[in-house]
Amino acid sequence: MELTFKPVIEKPKGQPVIIAGPCSAESEEQVVNTAKELATHGNVDLFRSGIWKPRTRPGSFEGVGTVGLNWLKTVKEEVGLKVTTEVANRQHVFEALKYGIDVLWLGARTTVNPFSVQEVADAIKGVDIPVLIKNPINPDLKLWMGAIERILKAGVTRVGVIHRGFSYHGQSEYRNVPRWQIPIELKRHFPEVQIICDNSHICGRRDTLYAVAQKAMDLSFDGIMTEVHPTPDEAWSDAAQQITPATFKELVNALQIRVTTSENPEYKNTIDHLRQEIDEIDNELLNLLGRRMSLAENIGEYKKRNNIAILQSDRWSEILETAKTVGKTKGLSEDFVAVILKAIHQESINHQERIMVSE
Ligand code: PEP
Ligand code: MN
């Protein structure tokens, strides 16, 4: 099935889509005042606010519910900003449509569940409202793609995605680790889809919001979604990551927007040249890897003849440690060297194994 995407928000080239607003709607005053302040910036495209909050544990603030839709309606009619909120089931969709919400979004806890995504898809069938789909909590590209396909199949033409990072059980400076490779891979599958970076849920704190938003711009993302609250420390949810409208304005103004290409002949010449060199190196790397695997097969033959086990863990630890040390002198991080070496080692074992089991 050929999938086509229309933009959720149309912006001139080089201008990011800006989505901002509180994590949760708390009161009419909080919602409308935040929207009024954001509207004075002139570059906010969409006002966000959670009405139904999917909290990890019961007992935390679970959103004001339907009454908050009236406040978003006021934002739309009196402040003049388009509005978006999270929906997770049929009831949410019906209510949001009834109150004229402009754009719906699926949260990370909904994208993980195909039953919920399908329920939302069935509820919007026949209504061509734009939908933004957050990545699932776990780093599963297929689950994300599946949710996108379900919504497109419902006849929605304006589908975009939000990258909000992935949960991680180790130590990290992020609340949700970005794993940039996953949204980049998504873009490779769906080149036209608009990708918005939710720096708030990636960072979980204020001091890194700008760096993550800038990184998204450097990676040619289409925009940002940031949580903004008039008094962030007093927010009823996600207080640590929310910023005031004034701080948000500074953040947006400081963003450097890169162009994706240039018509300048000198630039084109240089970049073509550099790319050619990169292609040659990639080719060399593949040739070398091919040679390395042939050697692994020879070793496999030899081990088989002498009835020796494939895995020699001392030798493997030694290879890894030496590679990390050498890698460091070439400016390669330990993590990178470990990932590459582990992949090569696994492929090598697979080759040897094939030899071992062959007649
Ligand atoms: C939110 O945007 O407030 C939210 C609940 O986000 P996520 O689904 O990314 O956790
Ligand atoms: Mn939030």
**Residue 24 alpha carbon, nearest atom of ligand 1:** 3
**281 CB contacts (<8 Å, ≥6 apart)?**
none
pLDDT beyond 90 at 257: yes
pLDDT beyond 80 at 260: no
Q: Which residues pair with 105 in a beta bridge?
A: 86, 132
Verify whether ligand 1 is closer than 6 Å to residue 134 (CB atom): yes
Average pLDDT score over residue span 309-338: 91
Ligand showing the shortest atom-to-Cα distance for residue 52 = 1
Ligand showing the shortest atom-to-Cα distance for residue 229 = 2
> Which segments of 177-249 are extended strands (E)?
194-197, 223-227
Distance (angstroms) between ligand 1 centre and the Cα of 251 equals 20
pLDDT beyond 80 at 172: yes
- Tens of pLDDT, residue by residue over 195-236, are 999 999 999 999 999 999 999 999 999 999 999 999 999 999
Verify whether ligand 1 is closer than 6 Å to residue 216 (CB atom): no
Distance (angstroms) between ligand 2 centre and the Cα of 227 equals 7
Verify whether ligand 1 is closer than 6 Å to residue 229 (CB atom): no
If one residue of 111, 120, 164 were mutated to test the ligand 1 pocket, choosing by the most ligand atoms within 8 A of its CB, it would be 164
Helix, strand, coil % over all residues of the chain, rounded to 5:
50, 10, 35
If pLDDT is split at 50, 70 and 90, which confidence band does 357 have? confident
> Per the structure block, which two tokens stand in for 28?
């009419």
Q: Return the percentage of the chain with pLDDT > 90, whole number.
A: 85
Residue with CA at minimum distance from ligand 1 atom 6: 107
Ligand showing the shortest atom-to-Cα distance for residue 51 = 1
Average pLDDT score over residue span 308-333: 90
Residue with CA at minimum distance from ligand 1 atom 3: 23
Between CA 353 and CA 359 the distance in angstroms is 12
If one residue of 103, 109, 135 were mutated to test the ligand 1 pocket, choosing by the most ligand atoms within 8 A of its CB, it would be 109
Indicate if the alpha-carbon torsion angle 177, 179, 182, 188 is positive or negative. Answer: positive
pLDDT beyond 70 at 35: yes
Ligand showing the shortest atom-to-Cα distance for residue 165 = 1
Residue with CA at minimum distance from ligand 1 atom 8: 107
* Choice among 23-27, 33-37, 332-336 with the minimum mean pLDDT: 332-336
**125 CB contacts (<8 Å, ≥6 apart)?**
154, 155
Distance (angstroms) between ligand 1 centre and the Cα of 131 equals 15
Q: 194-197 and 223-227: which strand pairing? A: parallel
Distance (angstroms) between ligand 1 centre and the Cα of 274 equals 40
* Choice among 19-23, 130-134, 141-145, 269-273 with the minimum mean pLDDT: 269-273
Cα dihedral 99, 103, 108, 113 in deg (nearest 10): 70
In b/e form, how buried is each residue of 69-82, taking b as 16+ CB within 10 angstroms?
bebbeebbeebebb
Q: Which residues pair with 161 in a beta bridge?
A: 133, 195
- Tens of pLDDT, residue by residue over 261-287, are 788 888 988 999 999 999 999 999 999
Average pLDDT score over residue span 125-135: 96
Average pLDDT score over residue span 51-76: 94
Residue with CA at minimum distance from ligand 1 atom 4: 107
pLDDT beyond 70 at 1: no
Average pLDDT score over residue span 166-184: 96
Three-state SS at 103 = strand
Q: Return the percentage of the chain with pLDDT > 70, whole number.
A: 99
Verify whether ligand 1 is closer than 6 Å to residue 164 (CB atom): yes
Between CA 130 and CA 191 the distance in angstroms is 18
Average pLDDT score over residue span 292-315: 89
Residue with CA at minimum distance from ligand 1 atom 1: 23
The pLDDT value given to residue 196: 98
Residue with CA at minimum distance from ligand 1 atom 10: 108
Distance (angstroms) between ligand 2 centre and the Cα of 322 equals 44
pLDDT beyond 70 at 111: yes
Average pLDDT, the chain: 95
Verify whether ligand 1 is closer than 6 Å to residue 203 (CB atom): no
If one residue of 26, 198, 227 were mutated to test the ligand 1 pocket, choosing by the most ligand atoms within 8 A of its CB, it would be 198
Average pLDDT score over residue span 98-120: 98
pLDDT beyond 90 at 42: no
Burial (CB < 10 A; 0-12, 13-18, 19+), residue 106, is buried
